[in-house]
Amino acid sequence: MAKIAQIIIGDELLSGKIQDLNLKWLADFLLPTGFKLNSSEIIGDEESQIIETLKNALAKNDAIIVTGGLGPTKDDKTKAVLAQFLGSQLEENQAAIELVTEHYKRFGKEWSKGHNGYHLIPSGVTPLKNPQGLAPGLMAEIEGKLIFCAPGVPREFQHMTSEVIYPLLSEKIATQSSELEIFNIRTFGIPEEKIFHEICPGLWEELEKFGSVSSLPQIMNVDITLRLTKDSELENKKIQIIEILKKTPIWKSVWQIGTIPLAAYIIEKAKEKNLTISFAESCTGGLTASNLTDISGSSSVFLGSVVCYANEVKTGLLGVKEQTLKDHGAVSAQTAFEMAEGARQSMKSDIAISFTGIAGPGGGSVEKPVGTVGIGWSTKNKTDSKLYQFHGDRLKLKERFMTKGLFKLLQIIESM
């Protein structure tokens, strides 16, 4: 399998000013291909460090994808360093001029040489189209190996990689690997260690008979991913894998065979059954509503959310009883029960989910420590609630509260 190295350049990444978003995308993009992401390294703008990193990566890989440093400012040093690495000079390139002119026209602008140095590239290097931005990418060929330089802006990087760089990789680097298909098994509620070491100790080895296996623990679920060769036995392999899973204790925790995000999957399932959804959110502060409305088309099933942080809002808008708050407190199964029922009735939804908890770091007690959350659910046939306990910092707890409620929502949708 051909090996790819990623080199991410930028002092702003190492200082924590921005976060790199390209590594995960590139890893996901290359996963089903005949190319393996062999390494990824974040380095600063120091020229000697860039050159040393290029040298080491080229010795161990078939191709390198460099991200960042192609812009017009003084700290954008990728072109100059690449020229130094290749023992060449920056020179005016007619193909680069044509690309930059085309890029500017796309945005309704006119480019001239006085604007920047986009037309200057190392001699012997090929400029590449940037489908979403202004600065051209670069491709250098060295003794059968390739160096690509792409913008660091995620939108530009992703489009250039998929539309320009990947076709060139496929054309110029031979790979012995067959085309692959990702078979993703999504489970909920069982930790990764428990799945493979306690509940199903031989499952990994059984799945490896069909292809390479990887496991990715997430907030409250685990993705078990197989890379299956696309051949005449592909569909039969899938059937056999599902039959193996059905015989294990984790089958009841498998909520999807696929890669659809939880919120999008909920929207899809609610649409299929023509169900509407609402929320009452205290401790999650609208996070759950935001998660659902990130999905295009959510308006067909999602009606709204009451962010009821104060008790006065719980009583005034949702009809939570003053006596319930007095007897059991805002963070209780009883309050979550009345919040869910109130949200469903006030917004006239088919299903309502409520959240009331303590995200910390303060506010906890011996009886109700930080991480306690009451989650309620209500349909026309039944309203219920339960108190749960989670661990983590404030932001992680809010995410865990939300995720637990969304999985409860999915369970209700699938039962209706």
- Cα of first residue to Cα of last residue in the chain, in angstroms, is 47
Fold of 2-172: Molybdenum Cofactor Biosythetic Enzyme; Chain A (3.40.980)
DSSP character for 134? S
pTM, two decimals, is 0.78
Do the bridges between strand 212-217 and strand 90-92 make them parallel or antiparallel, or are there none, so unpaired?
A: unpaired
**In this predicted structure, what is the pLDDT of residue 32?**
84
Fold of 180-257: Alpha-Beta Plaits (3.30.70)
3-state secondary structure 276-345: CEEEEECCCCCHHHHHHHCCCCHHHCEEEEEECCCHHHHHHHHCCCHHHHHHHCCCCHHHHHHHHHHHHH
Report how far Cα 235 is from the mean position of its chain's Cα atoms.
Answer: 27
**DSSP labels, 146-206:** EEEEE-SSHHHHHHHIIIIIHHHHHHHS---PPPEEEEEEEEESS-HHHIIIII-TTHHHH
d(CA 158, CA 27): 11
Architecture of domain 262-415: Alpha-Beta Complex (3.90)
**In this predicted structure, what is the pLDDT of residue 23?**
95
Q: What is the pLDDT along the chain (416 residues), one digit of tens a residue?
A: 799 999 999 888 998 888 899 999 999 899 888 798 999 999 998 999 999 999 999 999 999 999 998 988 877 899 999 999 999 999 999 999 999 999 999 999 999 998 899 999 999 999 999 999 999 999 999 999 999 999 999 999 999 999 999 999 999 987 655 678 899 999 999 999 999 999 999 999 999 999 989 998 988 899 999 989 889 999 999 999 999 999 999 999 999 999 999 999 999 999 999 999 999 999 999 999 999 999 999 999 999 999 999 999 999 999 999 999 999 999 999 999 999 999 999 999 999 999 999 999 999 999 999 999 999 999 999 999 999 999 999 999 999 999 999 999 999 999 99
Do the bridges between strand 2-9 and strand 35-43 make them parallel or antiparallel, or are there none, so unpaired?
A: parallel
d(CA 57, CA 391): 40
d(CA 21, CA 135): 19
Under a CB-based contact definition with an 8 Å cutoff, are residues 165 and 240 in contact?
no
Under a CB-based contact definition with an 8 Å cutoff, are residues 341 and 348 in contact?
no
Do the bridges between strand 302-307 and strand 277-281 make them parallel or antiparallel, or are there none, so unpaired?
A: parallel
d(CA 118, CA 140): 16
Task: List the chain domain ranges.
Answer: 2-172, 180-257, 262-415
In sequence order, what are the residues at sequence separation of 6 or more whose Cβ sits closer than 8 angstroms to the Cβ of residue 245? Answer: 185, 251, 254
Closest C-alpha among 103, 178, 173 to residue 137: 103
DSSP character for 253? G
**Residue 227 to residues 115, 177, 253, 406: CA-CA distances in angstroms?**
47, 12, 21, 28
In sequence order, what are the residues at sequence separation of 6 or more whose Cβ sits closer than 8 angstroms to the Cβ of residue 52? Answer: none
Whether cis (ω within 30° of 0) applies to the bond prior to 154 is: no
